[in-house]
Structure 1
């Protein structure tokens, strides 16, 4: 069980505590994947599993984020027609997108330090297997 939301009890799933929203982290992950190589939206959805997005990924969220990143100048796209099937948008990282990746890396390192501090304190209090402190 998770007790992290205003007194409500949540059961943990594979994704963990519902307070940790991986959906908000999708943009920097897609930027990093586009740094690796340009891709279509569907391919990005498949490759997001490499960065911890397991299970169902909302295609609408992926494409909304791609449009937003294109509006912000972080990616650019062009239509690519294939030999079979309809044309697809191919997304490419821009220099501004690469800069955004570096900014996210700084942010993630800071968040990791905060999370480590929490876990260190947690281990200090619950080192005996999860029994609550009674004093």
Structure 2
């Protein structure tokens, strides 16, 4: 494999492929987590790390998507007071949010088929190696 290709390969491993962003997958993951158990935004950030989101999850991404999902009617929030700190919003999934999970699952299955088709073709051309064909 040429050094140029190696550099691109390792960049993709580190940064991900341009156009394929986990950020776009955050809503279905958050809905699934909220289906399991209502949560505050901070708790969702911690739980997202266990769903394949590496490192610190950007709070802006989480709260921006929570607002979007609330506007869509997929989640609702209620203020919850705490003895040890300020009141926080607790997010709860709605029946529409549960329906959205099913829609996302259908979409993910479809995307998995497309990705499998890509990988099958890739492996047919390059084998299981690191793309050493020129």
TM-score, structure 1 length as denominator?
0.87
**How far apart, CA to CA, are the structure 1 residues paired with 2:14 and 2:51?**
14
Change (3 A) 1:128 1:98: closer
Q: Quick one: distance in 2 between partners of 1:131 and 1:73?
A: 49
Q: Name the CA distance, whole Å, in 2 between partners of 1:87 and 1:54.
A: 28
Residue 13 of structure 1 and its aligned partner are, at CA, apart by: 4.1
Tell me, in whole angstroms, the C-alpha distance in 2 between the residues paired with 1:79 and 1:93. Answer: 15
Q: What residue ranges of structure 1 are gaps of 5+ in the alignment?
A: 4-9
Q: Is the 8 A contact 1:73 1:97 kept in 2?
A: yes
In the alignment, is the contact (CA less than 8 A) between 2:41 and 2:63 conserved in 1?
A: yes
What's the counterpart of residue 88 of structure 2? 88
| C-alpha spacing 1:111/1:128, structure 2 compared with 1 (3 Å) | closer
**Residue-pair matches, total:** 127
Stretch deviating more after TM superposition (43-52 or 94-103): 43-52
Relative to total residues, which structure has the larger helix share, 1 or 2?
Answer: 2
RMSD after superposition: 1.7
Distance in 2, matches of 1:12 and 1:131, equals: 16
Cα 1:89–1:128, aligned 2, differ >3 Å: closer, same or farther?
Answer: closer
TM-aligned CA deviation for residue 38 of structure 1: 0.1
Gaps of 5+ in 2: 1-6
- For residues 128 and 105 of structure 1, what CA distance do their matches in structure 2 show? 28
